[in-house]
Structure 1
């Protein structure tokens, strides 16, 4: 039987309290990009569908400190030779890649998630998001299972009217990560759980999961979505 736990707490504090050093097989992180994003606008009101998520509108130095804190904690709990995947917007990639290296991670590739549909805007409308793939330790690392997979992943994004979180990702995307980087019953940790997409993928694929979500609204949404975890 698999173990699933969700916590309504800051990921750094929660991880320090709940997770021993070098005990995690995979970390997936979809942190705030510091773009003050509240989701796509509603047609009738012209206002964002969601409130700006916590830590998504910080001064640059504060955002750097926030990021380094959770990256250092991620490094502490991840087993040697295991993988971490971090989503990031192209505007913040240069900073995040530098901070990941500072925390001790070795970046192996930059995956491009092709969302299959263009977003709003102009000057070449957005259709992609970056996913940094990194490892802990310079030793021989665990290989991904599907060695023929390219670094461009074509997976349709969730329709705007179906989103329950401004940064919500399709479960298929998390399935791909989890299957490629873990075995059944291994432990996956999600530092920014949102509406529980990583947890859904772990349940689908028989992986253990610990998920942290600081926002009470989205934590309660997960509890309703996964009543079996009560």
Structure 2
């Protein structure tokens, strides 16, 4: 383990999940590089996804829709009984993921809306939100029933591609875990879930296929110690 609070890996997400024991993780929050991002990148509406911030290499490898069943099966297996699972995605991917997640055993509650509070790029009805699909394994109450299903946080500008705000992860962690729990993110990117986890006295297990992302995440997490 990198230290007693976090451990990072740099392998394929499904391979990484297969290495984790059954019923060992209290909460998964993740933001996979879903297939429809590639479509937006090709037509030029998501220009900042063309290369990574740190190099001229092609941006991170897309996770194809065809692999979601295996990914969700493994996520369900490693989660403890009576736990939550949050997956960031767009509306196109939501229609793909929901029936597969239900097939492997998750209960789907609803899509939460991340309101970015400013419109993005596009040609019509420009995007101001993303979905956060809210799933449950077993039965687990949220810690605060007064939180709305629209979460307002300004987007991260000039960060790692598609980086999410730490405060967004803090809300989900506060709702679905307690101090000392283990939070995991198989597609950790720049480590927003890890930063939130450590700042809230949770342990963090992170993985990303992109080596640059792991270096960035490790540096951010070590600066919190």
Give the shorter-chain TM-score range: 0.7 to 0.9
Structure 2 match to 1:214: 209
Aligned residue pairs total: 212
Answering whether residue 17 of structure 2 is matched by residue 15 of structure 1, we say yes
Normalising by structure 1, report the TM-score.
0.85
CA contact (8 A) 2:116 2:155 kept: yes
Specify whether residues 92 and 14 from structure 1 end up closer, same or farther in structure 2 by C-alpha distance, changes over 3 A only: closer
CA contact (8 A) 1:24 1:77 kept: yes
Answering whether residue 148 of structure 2 is matched by residue 150 of structure 1, we say yes
CA contact (8 A) 1:145 1:179 kept: yes
After the TM superposition, list the runs of 4 or more consecutive aligned residues in structure 1 that deviate by more than 6 angstroms. none
Report the CA distance between 1:223 and its aligned residue: 2.8
SS at match of 2:91: coil
Normalising by structure 2, report the TM-score.
0.87
> In 2, Cα distance between the equivalents of 1:26 and 1:2?
18
> In 1, Cα distance between the equivalents of 2:4 and 2:132?
27
Structure 2 match to 1:192: 187
CA contact (8 A) 1:29 1:190 kept: yes
Structure 2 match to 1:117: 118
> In 2, Cα distance between the equivalents of 1:12 and 1:124?
35
Structure 2 match to 1:128: 129
CA contact (8 A) 2:115 2:150 kept: yes
Mind listing any 5+ residue stretches in structure 2 that lack a counterpart? 53-57
Which of 166, 170, 177 is residue 171 of structure 1 equivalent to?
166
Structure 2 match to 1:41: 47
Which of 5, 13, 24 is residue 3 of structure 1 equivalent to?
5
Report the CA distance between 1:53 and its aligned residue: 1.9
> In 1, Cα distance between the equivalents of 2:33 and 2:104?
18
Answering whether residue 183 of structure 2 is matched by residue 183 of structure 1, we say no
Mind listing any 5+ residue stretches in structure 1 that lack a counterpart? 57-62
CA contact (8 A) 2:89 2:130 kept: yes
For the aligned residues, what is the CA RMSD? 2.0
CA contact (8 A) 1:2 1:207 kept: no
Report the CA distance between 1:226 and its aligned residue: 3.3
1:146-196 alpha-carbon deviations (Å, 9 max, x no partner) = 10111111111112xx212x2210000000010110000101110100011
Answering whether residue 62 of structure 2 is matched by residue 55 of structure 1, we say yes
Report the CA distance between 1:214 and its aligned residue: 0.9
